[in-house]
Homo-oligomer: A and B are copies of this chain.
Amino acid sequence: MALPVISQTQYAIGIDIGGTNTKFGIVDARGDILYRGAISTRKHEDVHDFIEELYEAVKPAVETVGGWNHIKGVGVGAPNGNYYKGTVEYAPNLTWTGIVPLASLIKTKFALPAWLTNDANAAAVGEMMYGAARGMRDFIMITLGTGVGSGIVANGQLIYGHDGFAGELGHTIIIPGGRHHPGTGAYGSLEAYASATGMKNTAIEMLAEHPDTPSELRKHSSDELESHHVYECAVKGDKIALQVFEYTGKILGMALANFVMFSSPEAIVLFGGPTKAGDMLLQPVREHMEANLLPIFRNKVKLIFSLLPESDAAILGASALVWENRD
């Protein structure tokens, strides 16, 4: 990616649309957020009302940086976002149904160019622009959270595919006939193991398989158990919790090996809650990734954690779409 030519006083608006709230920020080309704000997503059943409130909330922020002529464009990260069409399509967590032409609504209302993609792709662009992947032309971003998202950069460009939906690595099948994913119906997809729910399910399975192994995880009912409990117990040396990280790392490592043999990235950037576990996660991931690689790929790929602060990553990623675009 050629470095964009940006005057000193240009900013991007980054918008992160979530099911409950929409956050935004005014971001400079170095990734400093000069202004932050948020509005409710959920309360607007009509997307036009949402756009109106968003505009009114952003306006004072724009004035603080010198007015609209200092804004280069708007970047939006949204679930099920399609980069080519600028649409959000059938997003289960949003109140708007069907296909919503969000980028064009923003373009019209804000009178600015606007780009939109899904959360994980935005995160990858953010990492390339401001984070751990600065200067890299080939890397893969894996976001570990409620789901497992991904963004793939090759030849310095995000891979969107022919339809704008490329990079759904969380849904690739790692263990054929393996664990059922209730959301997609698939068996053995990466997300069924490496998402928060996946780690919780691994913990429940391991507690049942080793009834005689003492574990603090047993204090929580299955309903109540969450992936952060696994982390908290693992830090204290809880054997079952450590095994959950070992197993999660194994599946993730196997998956990463396949991804490496696809696009041979310089690095894989991991993002999200489980990365707090550091080497407890990274060590088995690395071990099983290397073990499954063809020799020519071994000991070459950097496995690194995101450098973007988790709370700002979505806004930063969205804003990076503005600097990254080549239109």
Chain A residues with CB under 8 Å of chain B are 89, 136-138, 152, 154-155, 157, 159-169, 171-176, 184, 186, 254, 257-259, 261-266, 292, 294-297, 300
Once the chains are docked, how many angstroms separate the CA of A265 from the CA of B173? 18
Give the number of copies in the complex: 2
A127 CB to nearest B CB, Å: 15
Instruction: Tell me the interface secondary structure of chain A in the complex.
Output: loop
- Shortest distance between the CB of A222 and any CB in chain B (Å): 27
Question: Hey, which chain B residues are within 8 Å of A261, CB to CB?
Answer: 168-169, 171-172
A-B contact pairs, 14 of them (CB 8 A): A152-B262, A154-B161, A154-B166, A155-B155, A155-B160, A161-B263, A166-B263, A168-B261, A168-B294, A169-B262, A173-B257, A173-B258, A184-B294, A262-B262
Q: Which residues of B contact A254 (CB under 8 A)?
A: 173, 176
| Bound-state Cα–Cα, A138 to B157, Å | 13
Measured CB to CB, the closest approach of chain B to A287, in angstroms, equals 15
Known: A168-B261, A258-B258. 6 other contacts (CB 8 A): A89-B296, A155-B160, A168-B294, A172-B258, A173-B257, A184-B294
Least CB distance from A77 to B in Å reads 18
Residues of B within 8 A of A165 (CB): 264, 296-297
Bound together, the chains give a CA A174 to CA B177 distance in angstroms of 11
* Closest B residue to A262 using CB positions: B262
Compute how far the CA of A259 lies from the CA of B171 in the bound complex, rounded to whole angstroms. Answer: 11
- The one of B155, B161, B168, B258 in contact with A159, judged by C-beta atoms closer than 8 angstroms, is B155
Q: Are the C-beta atoms of B294 and A161 separated by less than 8 Å?
A: no
